[in-house]
A and B are shown apart, each in its own frame.
Chain A
């Protein structure tokens, strides 16, 4: 590939549920761009030649094409713009679109703005809005919301892989406690406490085996990511740019129950895979990203990741789908704390969806921005301490995840 895709900056608003100080979406977007301009003084809005907007559900804002409000507000009239929507993988898909725009040679400087305003309705109504992305004819009306679908999948996965409730609770503890070092994280801003495995085990039942503290947070938040060609990166932010060396995007069935004998997966991975337990689209998109980036052994070649921990259980399932562990090693992998800050491949040092929050359209961008900060050496500036700084990282993975694993993207980022 002749052209390289680079990330040279980005920022989020504080993620929150309720008042944040950035309560208009266009105001939030403007503040994210301003923070990026402070980090990258050479960047001007005049340099942008494409804007991509990342937003999941217009139900929350009750506004069709809300990106038009933001785009107009940023003073970008005349610039081409469109919105990407792909469930929980909206952010990852927007970056995928931005990267394709750069790779095509048509565009050099692409801004990506993502947001969601999930606090415009009650939590239970919000859950139902999100569940409109499941097949409403078959699943929504039988008590179905995403935590329940994920719980049904995780329950079987945990049995088959001998992973316990306590094992996955350690993931919730890790991410929420990481978020206590991140002033923009919703867990830091609202709950603001360090938790233990016992706290997770004692939290209220959402859907067995998932409890409240195993779940990510419904959020209001906005994010901005600056994607560009290497030429622009070298000119504008030569000391703090990262390259997107690998990317993959894959898809799976909308209904998780349709994965038991699906011929599309049987052809690729043999009969019976993924069943209702494995994230085939994660595995397949990771394989694409690894191949593109020359990753042979992800455990050795990748230093850390920001991955889609919508539930503590799904982070565990993602470890396996990314090839970091197998059925034989997954329990040991979790219990050895390999993904904690003192482990060999820290996951979600920024807090993840469990700690930072999950305003869907902004989520994948948040993961990308945290990964960028780590690789660009900006954690001491952006977090409260060096506790959540990965030491000398060269390579990070970002994972964005939709539906019940219905769309998943993976990106390999490297420092330059």
Chain B
């Protein structure tokens, strides 16, 4: 007897798989995926305590999914934001669905933002995570880009740290195209061309005094 199975419903895919045609590999030669490796240990003189040194190096894939246009925009030297077609709110960093509960998670649309911003608040860092120590001191600002309803964090370059001000106008400057990686580090803020720092004052002097040793300390880092 022959049995014929008839597929009544073709299994539908959630989405067509993306075809990744543009691929770049800029892994430094000293980055190795070793997985888990014990690289040493130490035992106390009285042999009651032991420390073991474990190295772990792992490649992660950050799949940007529906946020991808923002990061692809960075590769192209653009700041892409999103906008809710219902209430009109717009954002960088982006939201793929509206934050206003009345809009019932409306899908947002992509909008290209201007390459200008304004400082909302700021700080001057003299210490940071391991990956950022050599760039210290860092002026970190939260700035509002274009019509965005939110402020975005990034570094402010091209000026003395003690001259940063609230509300100061900024321009967005991208790295040269061949150095971009599609991350927020592809751009930074700089003062708008027409902006001039205000004269020295006690707070600026205080910040200058605080950052002076930081410059010296960074020179000692290997």
Chain A interface (Cβ < 8 Å from any Cβ of B): 19, 23, 62, 122, 124-125, 127-128, 131, 135-145, 147-149, 151-153, 155-156, 159, 165, 204-212, 255-264, 276-277
Do A62 and B56 form a contact, CB below 8 Å, given A137-B62, A261-B150? yes
Contact B122 A263 (CB under 8 A): no
Question: Is B185 engaged at the interface, CB distance under 8 Å to the other chain?
Answer: yes
Residues of A within 8 A of B130 (CB): 122, 124-125, 127-128
A276 near B126: Cβ-Cβ < 8 Å: no
Complex: chain B residue closest to A276, CB-CB = B121
B151 at the interface (CB under 8 A from A): yes
Closest 6 CB pairs of A and B: A205-B126, A128-B129, A257-B151, A151-B123, A156-B121, A205-B210
Partner of A148, one of B133, B140, B166, B185: B140
- Collect the chain A residues with CB atoms within 8 Å of residue B150's CB: 255, 257-261
> Distance in Å from the Cβ of A272 to the closest Cβ of chain B?
12
Contacts of A159 in B (CB 8 A): 166
Count residues of chain B with CB under 8 A from any CB of chain A: 52
Q: Could you tell me if B153 and A139 are in contact, using CB atoms closer than 8 angstroms? A: yes
Q: Taking beta carbons and an 8 Å cutoff, which residues of B are in contact with A?
A: 49, 54, 56, 62, 64, 67, 71, 89, 91, 93, 99-102, 120-133, 135, 137-138, 140-142, 144, 149-155, 166, 183-185, 206-207, 210-211, 213-214
Chain A residues contacting B185 (CB-CB under 8 Å) are: 141-142
Complex: A277 Cα to B166 Cα, angstroms? 14
Q: Min CB distance, B198 to chain A, in Å?
A: 15
Contact B49 A19 (CB under 8 A): yes
Residue pair A145, B93 in contact (C-beta under 8 Å) = no
CB pair B121–A255 under 8 Å, yes or no, is: no
- Provide the bound-state CA to CA distance between A138 and B93, in Å: 7
Beta-carbon contact of A205 and B123 below 8 Å: no
Q: Give the shortest distance, in Å, between B213 (CB) and chain A (any CB).
A: 7
Residues on B with C-beta less than 8 A from A208 are: 123-126, 207, 210
For the A-B complex with A125-B129, A147-B127 known, give 9 more contacts whose Cβ atoms are closer than 8 Å: A62-B56, A141-B185, A142-B140, A148-B125, A148-B138, A148-B140, A155-B123, A210-B123, A276-B121
Residues of A within 8 A of B142 (CB): 152, 256-257, 276
What is the number of contacts between chain A and chain B, taking CB atoms within 8 Å?
Answer: 154
Q: Which residue of B lies closest to A263 (CB)?
A: B100
Q: List 30 A-B contacts (CB under 8 A).
A: A19-B49, A23-B49, A62-B56, A127-B127, A127-B130, A131-B129, A137-B64, A137-B67, A137-B93, A142-B140, A142-B185, A143-B140, A152-B123, A152-B142, A155-B123, A156-B121, A156-B166, A165-B206, A205-B125, A207-B124, A207-B140, A257-B120, A257-B150, A257-B153, A258-B91, A258-B150, A260-B150, A260-B151, A261-B89, A276-B120
Q: Which residues of B contact A135 (CB under 8 A)?
A: 93
With A128-B131, A145-B128 given, is the CB distance from A257 to B210 under 8 Å? no
Q: Are B211 and A155 neighbours in the complex by a CB distance under 8 Å?
A: no
Q: Is the CB of B153 within 8 A of A142?
A: yes
Q: Are A206 and B127 in contact (CB under 8 A)?
A: yes
Q: Residues of B contacting A264 with CB < 8 Å? A: 99, 101
Cβ contact within 8 Å between A141 and B120 = no
Q: Are B184 and A207 in contact (CB under 8 A)?
A: no
Query: With A and B bound together, what is the CA distance between A276 and B91 in angstroms?
Result: 16
Least CB separation from B54: chain A residue: A62
Could you tell me the distance between the alpha carbons of A161 and B126 in the complex, rounded to whole angstroms? 24
- Give CA–CA (A261, B141) in the complex, Å: 18
Let me know if A152 and B140 touch, CB within 8 A: yes
Partner of A145, one of B102, B129, B144, B183: B129
The residue on B at minimum CB distance from A259 is B150
Closest to A144 in B: B153
Residue of chain A at shortest CB distance from B131: A128
Shortest B193–chain A CB gap in Å is 23
* A371→B101 CA distance, assembly (Å): 39
User: Shortest CB–CB separation between residue A374 and chain B, in angstroms?
Assistant: 34
Instruction: Kindly state the separation between the CA atoms of A19 and B206 in the bound complex, as whole angstroms.
Output: 38
